[in-house]
Structures are given as C-alpha cells and as structure tokens.
Amino acid sequence: MSSIDWHPAPPMTDDQRRNALADMELIACGEELDLQWRRVRILLDHKLAVVQHPVLTAGSRTSLGLTDRGLRFMDAAGARQTNLRIRKNSS
C-alpha cells in the first residue's frame, strides 16, 4: 500500500478569491461547463467544490457541486461585502 504525502493548498490570492466566488456562483446555478480547469483545480484543492457522480445531466454523469466548506466560504464573503457596503454608506 502506498502512502500519499498531501500538502495543504497555498493560501489564495485576492484575485483567486474573487475568481473562486464567481466560479462558485456558476456552479450553484449549474453553469460550470465553461469553467477553466486551472480555476476548478483551485476550488478542488481548497475543498470548496467536489466532483459529483452520478448525476442526471444531458451528456454527462458527473458535475461539480459545492462542499459545506465552499458554502461557508461564500457566506463569509457575502458578509464581508455587506459590511463593506455598510461602512461606505455610513461615511
């Protein structure tokens, strides 16, 4: 039996965070077909998304879904956006 040495994914940059949120919105809407593989890998590496199998979609038995961690990531980002809007409006 082989042992796999798993290393944690490096922290996401601000651009990767923005891209991840946009990509996760597409996944939530079932529109992930045009996502670039390098961006999907970031979602998978950070355990924000998962490959689901089997699913009933036209032409495929797999799709991408959001993990609980991914949903928390989206909730936290939404809360940060709300706080930023409140601060801007109160200034």
On whether residue 83 sits in a domain, the answer given is: yes
Nearest residue to 22 (alpha-carbon basis) of 84, 73, 82: 73
Whether 19 has a pLDDT exceeding 60, the answer reads: yes
CATH at 77:
1.10.10
Say what the pLDDT of residue 40 is: 97
On whether residue 50 sits in a domain, the answer given is: yes
Say what the pLDDT of residue 1 is: 47
CB-CB neighbours of 65 under 10 Å:
15
On whether residue 85 sits in a domain, the answer given is: yes
Say what the pLDDT of residue 2 is: 52
Q: How far apart are CA 65 and CA 10, in angstroms?
A: 22
Each residue of 40-76: pLDDT tens digit?
999 999 999 999 988 776 777 888 999 999 999 999 9
Domain count, the chain: 1
Say what the pLDDT of residue 7 is: 83
On whether residue 30 sits in a domain, the answer given is: yes
pTM value is 0.78
On whether residue 4 sits in a domain, the answer given is: no
DSSP states along 7-67? -PPPPPPHHHHHHHHHHHHHHHTT-GGG--HHHHHHHHHTTSEEEE-S--BTTBS-EEEE-
On whether residue 3 sits in a domain, the answer given is: no
> What is the span of the domain harbouring residue 73?
14-90
